[in-house]
Structure 1
Amino acid sequence: MSRLLIVLCLSLLVAACGFKPRASLAVASSLGPVAVSTADPYSPLGQDLATALERAGATPAVEGQPAATLQVMAERMRTRPISFQRGASVREYQTLYRVDFQLTGADRKLRVPRQTVELTREYTYDAVGSIGSPAEERLLQEELRRDMVATILRRLDAALRAD
């Protein structure tokens, strides 16, 4: 009996705070086939976006048929030092990832105007220890790319729901 009461109270608390599960992405239903266009055809971001759109239910574009196009117009990742320690060696770095994109429909009308997304991460570099190794930097960049894909999909979803 007490377990039931606890479950009931927790359910009421969750409902009272406004929690609700995230809705599925509307990208798939409103766009039809989607092609991802990048300056580099082997861009990991472009490949990840195409995969994420398929997982969201979008149909991949077929060559020669009209399709919406998600165009990645610019993609820049750079790392810069943000703090130094004695001896002028770098203590902390910041990695900045910036992507410009837009979405055009199969009818060539601009569905989502050009937008810029910028993500940053800071990390500590220790030349003596294993903290901040080049492998960690690669992992950080892969994490930024995953976050960028999710951010772009959320922006597309929000813009298409507003239409």
Structure 2
Amino acid sequence: MTTKVTSCKLQVASKNLLRFISGRGFLFLSLVTCHLLLTSCGFHLRGAVTLPPQMERTQLLGVDARSALAAEITAALEDAGVRVVAGDATAQLVISGERQARRLLSVGSTGRASEYEITYQFSFELRAPAEATAAGAKPAAVVLVPQQSVSLNRDYSFDPDNVLGKGDEESLLVREMRSFAVRQMLVRLQAALRQSQ
């Protein structure tokens, strides 16, 4: 009797499994399997940066909190799941040397500028906040990622008859370069911290 009940349960279970696999269940099962395979090998969609727990609460130093660079870094960190805090941080991201420059590349036949190169750069360093000591000595912060620079160059053609339009184009180009430089910084931080673990 027990074997008959068990075999009936197995038949019902196998029928349910076949119905599941033949319907939308197969698609669901395939998607779950693909997701597990891709995430297990470390694959992430472009733009997705996963920062380690040491950066869970990061303090941004060395840059004006109202600047475009600070806003871009804050947004990128928050997109990566990091809380940007003013104090009680697990890490300190120190930004320095932000600079943008424009250099003449070529002159047209009329002697007027026809092409410029824009350079955008800044340096960054990641530190673990210093722990207070009982002796009262000023503790040194531990450097997690040594200072590195991100530098980008772009050229663009310049039309002296459309100065206003080219000024807008240059501003847009600088914004895109800033965004790409911040993205590059996060990828470098992710790689450096993964290597140190």
Residue aligning to 1:67: 90
TM-score by length of 2: 0.66
Distance in 2, matches of 1:142 and 1:126, equals 20
Does 1:88 find its partner at 2:111? yes
Q: State the AA in 1 paired with 2:80.
A: A
Residue aligning to 1:22: 44
Q: Residue deviations 1:100-154, cap 9 Å, x none?
A: 1101013421011000111011000112247961111110111111111111111
- What secondary structure does 1:93 align onto? strand
Comparing both structures, which one devotes a greater share of its residues to strand? 1
Residue aligning to 1:161: 194
Aligned counterpart in structure 2 of residue 141 of structure 1, from 153, 168, 174: 174
Distance in 1, matches of 2:63 and 2:53, equals 27
Distance in 2, matches of 1:45 and 1:36, equals 11
Count of residue correspondences: 143
1:61, distance to aligned residue in structure 2 (A) = 1.8
8 Å CA contact retained: 2:52, 2:190: no
1:84, distance to aligned residue in structure 2 (A) = 0.7
Provide structure 2 residue ranges, at least 5 long, that are not aligned to the other structure. Answer: 1-41, 131-140
The answer to which of 126-135 and 110-119 deviates more is 126-135
TM-score by length of 1: 0.79
Q: State the AA in 2 paired with 1:43.
A: S
Aligned counterpart in structure 1 of residue 66 of structure 2, from 42, 49, 54: 42
After superposition, the CA RMSD in angstroms is 2.1
8 Å CA contact retained: 2:60, 2:86: no
